């Protein structure tokens, strides 16, 4: 019975992540198809000619349209149209606030020039002696920076995620000197939070020490060479 239980647990560990991933992917494809397919003319929809529905066709059309919009926006005519549309949205009291907020969020998270969440750190939260994992966002700006500099000095905006759901959390402004930066990647930090500390990335302390020792040896090598050359007799 012990061996059968071990076999079952091993199979469950292997199949459960695959099944959940497949379910989420299939649900996402079906959700996109339910939005896009009704907008496709029947003459171009393969579901009209086939006796069964083609899953993922709506997703393909959506990706193609998004790419086409990006291509058209990259030229002068496209930028002019986008600017005109944003101008009209800016004249609508309620819509402009929602649009500007959503645009800023997407630009911050998805833009290649963004440096959001590139580092993982530790802060003492909710009190001294307790450490929490945070994602470093950016330096404080605007009024927040001006107000916090008076008492705490330069501060950094950090995101404190909750466990095991890292999509929700708290925005904190923490003084730079109170943040301990970690060498782990953001992905490793997310795994650490989702697993409630069970999947902790291996810290290569010995590798780091060897690398520092090698750098020190390389830095001392030119000085040794100069001392050796100066000790030789001049011809």
The residues spanned by each domain of the chain are 2-110, 119-194
d(CA 74, CA 67): 11
User: Looking at the predicted structure, is the pLDDT value of residue 109 above 70?
Assistant: no
Q: What is the pLDDT of residue 113?
A: 46
CB-based contact 103:82 (threshold 8 Å): no
The pLDDT tens digits for 39-75 are: 888 888 888 888 888 888 888 999 998 888 888 877 7
Binning pLDDT at 50, 70 and 90, where does residue 141 land?
Answer: confident
Helix (H, G, I), strand (E, B) or coil at 160: strand
Model-wide pTM > 0.85:
no
d(CA 72, CA 89): 20
The mean pLDDT value for 25-50 works out to 88
For residue 39, count CB atoms less than 10 angstroms from its CB and return exposed for 0-12, middle for 13-18, buried for 19 or more.
exposed
Taking alpha carbons only, the member of 112, 136, 109, 132 closest to residue 122 is: 132
User: 142 — alpha (psi -120 to 50), left (phi > 0) or beta?
Assistant: left
Q: What is the pLDDT of residue 130?
A: 92
């Amino acid at each position: 019975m012990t061996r059968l239980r071990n076999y079952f647990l091993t199979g469950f560990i292997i199949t459960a992540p695959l099944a959940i991933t497949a379910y989420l992917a299939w649900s996402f494809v079906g959700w996109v198809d339910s939005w896009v397919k009704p907008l496709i003319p029947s003459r171009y929809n393969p579901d009209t000619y086939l006796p069964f529905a083609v899953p993922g066709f709506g997703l393909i059309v959506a990706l193609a349209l998004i790419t086409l919009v990006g291509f058209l926006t990259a030229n002068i005519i496209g930028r002019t149209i986008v600017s005109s549309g944003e101008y009209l949205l800016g004249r609508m009291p309620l819509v402009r606030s929602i649009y500007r907020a959503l645009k800023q969020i997407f630009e911050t998270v998805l833009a290649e020039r963004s440096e959001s969440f590139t580092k993982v750190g530790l802060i003492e939260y909710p009190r001294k002696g307790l450490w929490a994992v945070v994602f470093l966002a950016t330096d404080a700006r605007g009024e927040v920076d001006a107000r916090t500099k008076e008492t705490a000095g330069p501060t950094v905006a950090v995101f404190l995620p909750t466990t095991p759901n890292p999509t929700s959390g708290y925005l904190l402004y923490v003084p730079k000197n109170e943040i301990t930066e970690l060498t782990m990647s953001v992905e490793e930090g997310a795994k650490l939070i989702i697993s409630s500390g069970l999947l902790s990335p291996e810290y290569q302390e010995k590798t780091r020490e060897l690398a520092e020792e090698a750098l020190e040896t390389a830095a001392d090598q030119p000085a040794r060479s100069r001392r050796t050359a100066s000790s030789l007799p001049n011809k």
